[in-house]
Structure 1
Amino acid sequence: MGIVTPWPYTSSLPQQTAFDRHELTRILDLYGRMVAAGKWRDYAMDFQRDVAVFSCFRRASERPEYRIEKRPALRSRQGMWALVSEAGAILKRGDELANVLAPVERKLMKLVSD
């Protein structure tokens, strides 16, 4: 006989990587505080098979000031979270989102204290 394939066919690979509710809440909370401080004005999200990216812009016509990337494939090696600068340099990498967002939050504290 033949091979029975269940319908609808689902592969073991995810179709796209996304942020869960808690991660997105944490990122949007930081984004809202930076908007209130007058530092950021726009954001974009990109969801692909191997990476989910949240980009923060000073103005919509520029390159993103920061990109927050989630790459689950790097979970066991370098950590799945990365904070990438405007020039493309990786500023911070780790397993916990809070630790990766710490440099941006410190920058926010300096903006508020001035």
Structure 2
Amino acid sequence: MSLTTFDKVDKFDGSKYQLWSFKIIMYLRSRGLWGQVDGSSPPDRALMEQEHAAIVLSLTDSQVLHVLTTATAMHAWNTLQRLNESKDMASRMWLKEKFSTFRYTASSM
């Protein structure tokens, strides 16, 4: 796996988590690596290392800080998922609340 292949997946910078996660899953599947993260393939040390590297190298420095102590791709994936899906959910809930309490006024038009 060459480093130039990572040009196909934009580095995750903390925004658009769902889009990034979909792209990296597709990338890992195309390389036969996704099974090590979701547990559908028997553990293979070499593949686990490739997959962990692929995930970490597809992150910006600010996101790498969250996975510095992870030893496996599955641990890194779960950490990113936990951090970012909760942010996405909180944002959606906040927006839904904001929308439901919005009132049209003369100044809002």
Shared fold per TM-score greater than 0.5: no
Q: Which has the higher contact order (CA 8 A, sep 6+)?
A: 2
TM-score, normalisation: structure 1 = 0.29
